[in-house]
Amino acid sequence: MRETTSGNHYRIEFDSFGEYLSYHTDRPGRASWDKSWNGAGSVAEAVGQAKAGLGPEGLAALDAASDLLPALDGAVIDQRFRPVASTEGGQVDIGLYLSGEPECMVSYDLDMTTQVKPIVTLVVATGILGRVSAQAIAERGKRVMALLQAIELAGIQAEVWSDSTTNGGSGMTARISVRLKAAGEPFDAGQLMYCMTANSMHRTLGFNTKDHFPPRWSKVMGQSSGYGSTALGDLIEAGDYPEGTVYLRALRDNSDKLNVEDTLRELGLMH
């Protein structure tokens, strides 16, 4: 865990989701939670949900995410025909023929390649506005999971972060960064599904983190201040992440949808 400050900006960063859960195990909640809205009745319950990973609802959500993949599969793989010189083929290379080269016929082999960036950093905003329903959070989470599976399908080295950024007024901002997957690490479907679809990720664990911010920030972003305002729009303090990071912004309302195809185009995986 690392904590940094720069002027009015505070950031707490966790190298792994396991480290984030340990943080909460050591810091019981200071607030009372309404399970119907917070997603868990206590910090301990939220940690238990996260450790349990995929329950029946999570498995159903993962299946729903997988259902989105067939439409992406053919688009992610780039099919190119590569000319090959041979003694047989459907076309004559006139230059080779006139030079007396025996392999003057040209055939075309299908060359399957993927449109790949060496390493992609994907930052998913898991901060949620109060008016967004648990169902909308889960629906968006399914689409994020479909995106992550499509990236895996393309053979990309992906680093995935959860980001919760808060405005506290008077120019004060704070960020909770949790690395969910390092480049080269295996795809942990249970862990990622919890983080993307469970409202307790933000409304219990995220709120508890804000309650333990340094006093200057917890005063304007903790329970007494309604936990501040979730940052919307483009990534603020972009220097917190590597250059070229792809940022999936926070949900604005229940009708806000993640466009998986547009994100794949931003990654250079679709035309």
Q: What is the pLDDT of residues 106-150, one digit of tens each?
A: 554 444 444 445 688 999 999 988 899 989 998 888 888 888 877
Q: Is residue 261 part of a domain?
A: yes
156 with 246, same domain: the answer is yes
What confidence score (pLDDT) does residue 111 get? 46
130 with 219, same domain: the answer is yes
63 with 158, same domain: the answer is yes
Backbone angles phi, psi at 270, to 5 degrees: -135, 150
89 with 104, same domain: the answer is yes
Average pLDDT over all residues of the chain: 81
48 with 166, same domain: the answer is yes
For residues 7 and 175, give the distance between their C-alpha atoms in angstroms, rounded to a whole number: 13
Task: Give the pair of three-digit tokens for residue 91.
Answer: 């076309």
Q: Is residue 271 part of a domain?
A: no
212 with 91, same domain: the answer is no
Task: Give the end of a domain, one of 64, 93, 114.
Answer: 114
Task: Give the end of a domain, one of 63, 90, 114.
Answer: 114
DSSP letter for each residue of 182-230: -TT----HHHHHHHHH-THIIIIIIHHHHHTS-HHHHHHHSGGGTT-EE
Q: How far apart are the first and last CA of the chain?
A: 39
202 with 87, same domain: the answer is no
Number of domains within the chain = 2
241 with 168, same domain: the answer is yes
pLDDT of 259 above 60: yes
Q: Is residue 174 part of a domain?
A: yes
159 with 237, same domain: the answer is yes
Q: What is the mean pLDDT of residues 75-97?
A: 52
228 with 212, same domain: the answer is yes
Task: Give the end of a domain, one of 87, 114, 141.
Answer: 114
26 with 44, same domain: the answer is yes
What residues contact 86, with CB distance under 8 A and at least 6 apart?
Answer: 103, 105, 106, 107
User: Three-class SS of residue 108?
Assistant: strand
Helix H or strand E encompassing 27: none
CA-CA distances (angstroms) from residue 18 to 42, 43, 104?
18, 15, 61
Task: Give the pair of three-digit tokens for residue 212.
Answer: 């333990």
Task: Give the pair of three-digit tokens for residue 190.
Answer: 């249970």
Q: What is the mean pLDDT of residues 174-183?
A: 96
CA-based max dimension of the chain: 86
pLDDT of 184 above 50: yes
Range list of H helices, the chain? 17-25, 35-38, 43-52, 56-67, 70-76, 94-98, 134-153, 189-197, 200, 207-211, 215-221, 260-266
Range list of H helices, 77-214? 94-98, 134-153, 189-197, 200, 207-211
Residue located via tokens 């466009």: 259
Helix H or strand E encompassing 41: none
Domain hosting 53: range is 2-73+116-266
What confidence score (pLDDT) does residue 12 get? 98
pLDDT of 255 above 50: yes
104 with 222, same domain: the answer is no
Backbone angles phi, psi at 79, to 5 degrees: -95, 125
